[in-house]
Amino acid sequence: MTTELASRQLSQDLRRRGALILSVFALVWAAAGTSGLTAPGRVVAGLTVAAALVSVTVAALAFRFGGVDTAGRARRLPTMWLRDVGRINITQFIAIVAAAVIVSRLGAPALVPVVICLIVGLHFLPLGRYFGQPQYFWTGGLLIAVAVAGFVVFGLGWTVESVRALVGLGAAVVLWGSAFDVAVRG
């Protein structure tokens, strides 16, 4: 596979967009996670506000630092990278929908967020190469670890809400960490 050197502007744009997308999906996962908490309403509301503030802060950092690669490495993108990234994302979407339907029909709705987290984690592994973002390898690995933890606690008999809280909040923390790293360090 041949590679092409990305322009500095494209590199910055990709990093900025990556940090923004990661922070938005972290907020979605945090909302899913807080929906599983059995804490008083004001505690859940406070956590939701805190999650929104973290996402806004990471997004602001992405604009502040402009997605500049502080390590100074050149970004090399595989030929046809955009087409392949589109295929990866479409495959992920189809896998998520299919898995959610199958797992629900099998009578294990608590596993829906767990399986989705696993699929999302797996989808990050090739993205690291396609975007030239090594952070996406550890992002994928940590999301897979969160999914494995979800499978384990489900097997231990945790409630649907507890599993959702663990996986949702765990995935949010991983995505915020990755978004912060991409925003600040490139």
Q: What is the DSSP letter of 88?
A: H
DSSP 73: P
Where would I find the H helices in 66-111?
81-105
Domain count within the chain? 1
**Model confidence at 4: pLDDT above 80:** no
Q: What is the CA 90 to chain-centroid distance, rounded?
A: 16
Structure tokens at 40: 């008083």
pLDDT at 37: 82
The pLDDT tens digits of the residues spanning 110-163 come to 999 999 999 999 999 999 888 878 889 999 999 999 999 999 999 999 999 999
Confidence category of residue 173, pLDDT binned at 50, 70, 90: very high
Quickly tell me which residue has 């506000």 as its tokens. Answer: 49
Q: What is the model's pLDDT at position 71?
A: 55
If phi > 0 it is left, if psi is from -120 to 50 it is alpha, else beta; for residue 67 that is left
pLDDT score, position 2: 53
Query: 91 pLDDT band (50/70/90 cuts)?
Result: very high
Return the number of other C-beta atoms located less than 10 Å from residue 7's C-beta: 10
Domain range enclosing 65: 3-185
Which string of DSSP letters, residue by residue, matches 109-141?
A: GGGHHHHHHHHHHHHHHHHHHHHT-THHHHHHH
pLDDT digits (tens, 9 = 90+) for 38-57: 877 777 777 777 878 887 88
Q: Show the CA angle centred on residue 152, arms to residues 151 and 154, nearest 5°.
A: 65
